[in-house]
């Protein structure tokens, strides 16, 4: 086991907790995430170089609000509180936090004040645009603290106690919307905590392979392959650890893109994985018949996946584990981190039944998509798999809004294939994070060949992202969009209107359901 310097991140339920860890990993600093109820003794046992307290959805003044062990602030190492974390530090140490007359959400301008700061140093401009997301604010500083920046509304946006090395940021430096965010975090990690930056993703691979081998022992693992990046790289990583004790199952749930089941099976042959093909499409479509609620769709699909896996596992002597390609955005959006709010369930997180006959193995659970791709390259995965665009586990079920039928799925498949084909012809597909179509259960009047039509609409969705936590819609050339629209209307029966989604994340999510 490789021993690294540690920055402990205390998770108070923020949607950005793992993004903090990710930023530090980019700086080659090892991080450990602990829940808000971790004891000071447990935190101390990891000999942290520093501690970061995350944001969270609560108000520190709410009855039963999330809080931390106050003794954590007595460990003698630097502490940085972000948003809710800043307010917690203030409240615990005798400051005053109140509800603001106006909330601050989105990009806000701040200006430095109070002289030179240890983390808002000379290289940080005097005025910054930062991402705020709070209703409460620190109205009175604890003894020994001073404000180091303010908003235009005269609200304290950062503070510090240089002697005790306590720092607070009301804004989120970990998101790309905050100017100089990385430099501010580097100031804390390197200038204050004195980290050397000795962590590498390859070290993580070595530790994880060892941990998988030790956990699995002589038992076997069954893996549900979806054809996507996450499940494929998970399988390759576990195969490196336990070899032929991994039995993969590819389930065709009838919700994949055009000709995709055949294509992914050929790719798995080249990797050398032991894969069994199971056609369960009729079973999935039967259970989804008449279901329109997106959360219900996801949970049905998650349950059926597990049922199929368990049925196959019973045929494999010694199978005790179920491998899933869960990554961090799946976890945080499903609200399974302690204190985090539910956004939507993912089939491989919130869709799991309460009782399973298999233990879960999720080696990528704390990684982001781009880190998973880097991991794939480290372990020698083919580029066709590593660079594949993300595809949701529930497949087209969350892109076919309303009732799921084979006919509507075939309509969506045909339109989606045209969209991706035209992007590839234009040389745009490889540079887009995700491009797909969404079929709406909305009909409109059209005219085709002098005849009146009354057909459904399809949405073109294309986005750019780095880690799926935030995303910007792609500005595709109008001529390309025009060709896509004409081809879909001319070639796909059942569609007479094409529209484009120009919403970023937030406020929207990448998928529609």
CA distances from 502 to 96, 390, 460, 464, 505 (A): 42, 19, 9, 12, 10
Residue 511 lies in a domain: no
Q: Where are the beta strands (DSSP E) in 392-494?
A: 434-448, 451-465, 471-473
Asked whether the beta carbons of 426 and 383 are under 8 A apart, the reply is: no
Tens of pLDDT, residues 419-448: 999 999 999 998 999 999 999 999 999 887
By C-alpha distance, which of 257, 224, 223 is closest to 239?
Answer: 223
CA 288 – CA 67 distance, rounded (Å): 42
pLDDT above 50: residue 508: yes
The answer to whether the peptide bond before residue 507 is cis (omega within 30 degrees of 0) is yes
pLDDT band at 353 (very low <50, low <70, confident <90, very high): very low
Tens of pLDDT, residues 241-285: 999 999 998 989 999 999 999 988 888 888 888 999 999 999 999
Asked whether the beta carbons of 456 and 442 are under 8 A apart, the reply is: yes
pLDDT of residue 53: 97
pLDDT band at 335 (very low <50, low <70, confident <90, very high): very low
pLDDT of residue 493: 93
Q: How many CA atoms lie within 13 A of 113 on its CB side?
A: 15
User: Catalytic residue among 12, 30, 77, 83, which?
Assistant: 83
What number of helices (H) and strands (E) belong to the chain? 14, 18
Alpha helices in 102-186 (DSSP H): 181-186
pLDDT above 80: residue 226: no
Q: Where are the beta strands (DSSP E) in 78-126?
A: 79-82, 96-112
Same domain, 173 and 273: no
The answer to whether the peptide bond before residue 506 is cis (omega within 30 degrees of 0) is yes
Residue 1 lies in a domain: no
pLDDT band at 90 (very low <50, low <70, confident <90, very high): very high
Q: Which of 192, 216, 236 lies at the terminal end of a domain, its last residue?
A: 192
Q: In what order do the strands lie in the sheet with 166-169?
A: 31-35, 7-11, 50-53, 79-82, 166-169, 156-161, 146-151, 96-112, 127-140
pLDDT of residue 350: 39
Same domain, 367 and 441: no
Of 53-67, 317-331, 473-487, least confident by mean pLDDT is 317-331
pLDDT, average across residues 482-511: 94
Average pLDDT, the chain: 87
Same domain, 185 and 205: no
User: Catalytic residue among 104, 160, 174, 511, which?
Assistant: 174
CATH code of the domain containing 283: 3.40.50.620
Terminal Cα distance for the chain, rounded: 41
Residue 509 lies in a domain: no
Residue 398 lies in a domain: no
Helix/strand/coil (H/E/C) assignment for every residue in 23-65: HHHHCCCCEEEEECCCCHHHHHCCCCCEEEECCCCCCCCCCCC
pLDDT of residue 101: 63
Q: Name beta bridge partners: 278.
A: 251
Written as six digits, the tokens of 430 are: 């490889």
pLDDT of residue 75: 96
Catalytic residue status for 223: no
Same domain, 348 and 216: yes
Same domain, 43 and 155: yes
Residue 79 lies in a domain: yes
pLDDT above 90: residue 98: no
Cβ neighbours of residue 258 closer than 8 Å, sequence gap 6 or more: 413, 414, 416, 417
Asked whether the beta carbons of 325 and 349 are under 8 A apart, the reply is: no
User: Catalytic residue among 134, 172, 239, 346, which?
Assistant: 172
pLDDT, average across residues 75-92: 96
Residue 513 lies in a domain: no
Same domain, 231 and 375: yes
Alpha helices in 74-217 (DSSP H): 84-92, 181-186, 201-216
Catalytic residue status for 239: no
Helix (H) or strand (E) holding 273: none
By C-alpha distance, which of 116, 129, 343, 388 is closest to 233?
Answer: 388
CATH code of the domain containing 454: 3.30.300.10
pLDDT band at 401 (very low <50, low <70, confident <90, very high): very high
Burial 404-436 (b: 16+ CB within 10 A, else e): beeebbebbbbbbbbbbebbeeeebbeebbbbb
pLDDT of residue 105: 64
pLDDT above 60: residue 156: yes
CATH code of the domain containing 95: 3.40.50.880
Asked whether the beta carbons of 257 and 413 are under 8 A apart, the reply is: yes
What's the number of domains the chain is made of?
A: 3
pLDDT band at 343 (very low <50, low <70, confident <90, very high): very low
pLDDT band at 371 (very low <50, low <70, confident <90, very high): confident
Residue 19 lies in a domain: yes
| For the chain, percent of residues with pLDDT exceeding 90 | 57
Same domain, 156 and 78: yes
CA 250 – CA 276 distance, rounded (Å): 6
Q: Which of 357, 386, 415 lies at the terminal end of a domain, its last residue?
A: 386
What is the domain extent for residue 99?
7-192
pLDDT of residue 88: 96
Same domain, 78 and 180: yes
Same domain, 364 and 413: no
Same domain, 260 and 115: no
Catalytic residue status for 400: no
Same domain, 231 and 311: yes
Same domain, 300 and 232: yes
CA distances from 12 to 15, 55, 72, 126, 295 (A): 9, 6, 14, 30, 25
Which residue carries 């009301």 as its tokens?
Answer: 170
Q: Which pairing describes strands 7-11 and 50-53: parallel, antiparallel, or unpaired?
A: parallel
Residue 353 lies in a domain: yes
């Amino acid at each position: 086991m490789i021993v690294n310097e540690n920055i402990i991140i205390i998770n108070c339920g923020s949607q950005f907790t793992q993004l903090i860890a990710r930023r530090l990993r980019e700086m080659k600093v090892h991080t450990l995430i602990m829940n808000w109820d971790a004891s000071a003794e447990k935190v101390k046992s990891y000999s942290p170089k520093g501690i970061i307290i995350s944001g969270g959805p609560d108000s520190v003044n709410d009855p039963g609000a999330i809080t931390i062990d106050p003794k954590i602030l007595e460990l003698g190492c630097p502490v940085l509180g972000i948003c809710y974390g800043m307010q917690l530090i203030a409240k615990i140490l005798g400051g005053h936090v109140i509800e603001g007359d106006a909330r601050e959400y989105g990009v806000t301008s701040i200006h430095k004040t109070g002289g030179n700061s240890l983390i808002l140093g000379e290289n940080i401009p005097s005025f910054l645009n930062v991402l705020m997301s709070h209703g409460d604010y620190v109205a009175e500083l604890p003894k020994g603290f001073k404000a180091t920046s303010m908003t235009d509304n005269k609200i304290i946006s950062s503070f510090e106690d240089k002697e005790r090395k306590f720092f607070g940021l009301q804004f989120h430096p970990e998101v790309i919307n905050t100017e100089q965010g990385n430099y501010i975090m580097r100031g804390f990690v390197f200038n204050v905590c004195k980290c050397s930056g000795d962590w590498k993703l390859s070290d993580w691979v070595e530790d994880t392979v060892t941990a998988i081998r030790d956990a699995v022992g002589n038992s076997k693992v069954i893996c549900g392959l979806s054809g996507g990046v996450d499940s494929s790289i998970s399988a390759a990583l576990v195969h490196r650890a336990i070899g032929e004790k991994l039995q993969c199952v590819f389930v065709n749930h009838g919700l994949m893109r055009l000709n995709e089941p055949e294509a992914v099976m050929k790719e798995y042959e080249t990797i050398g994985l032991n894969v069994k093909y199971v056609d369960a499409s009729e079973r999935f479509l039967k259970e989804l018949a008449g279901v329109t609620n997106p959360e219900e769709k996801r949970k049905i699909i998650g349950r059926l996946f597990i049922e199929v896996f368990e049925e196959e596992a019973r045929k494999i002597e010694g199978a005790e584990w179920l491998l899933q390609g869960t990554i961090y955005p799946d976890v945080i959006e499903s609200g399974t981190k302690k204190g985090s709010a539910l956004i939507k369930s993912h089939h491989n997180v919130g869709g799991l039944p309460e009782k399973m006959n298999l233990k879960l193995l999720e080696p990528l659970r704390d990684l982001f998509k781009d880190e998973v791709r880097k991991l794939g390259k480290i372990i020698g995965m083919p580029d066709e798999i590593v660079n594949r665009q993300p595809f949701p586990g529930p497949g087209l079920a969350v892109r076919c809004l309303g009732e799921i039928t084979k006919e509507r799925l075939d309509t969506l498949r045909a339109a989606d294939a045209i969209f991706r084909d035209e992007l590839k012809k234009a040389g745009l597909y490889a540079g887009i994070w995700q491009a797909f179509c969404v079929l709406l259960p909305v009909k409109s009047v059209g005219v085709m060949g002098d005849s009146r039509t009354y057909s459904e609409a399809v949405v073109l969705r294309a986005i750019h992202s780095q880690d799926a936590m935030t995303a910007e819609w792609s500005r595709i050339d109008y001529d390309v969009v025009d060709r896509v629209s004409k081809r879909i209307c001319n070639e796909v029966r059942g569609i007479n209107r094409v529209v484009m989604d120009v919403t970023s994340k937030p406020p929207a999510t990448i998928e529609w359901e």
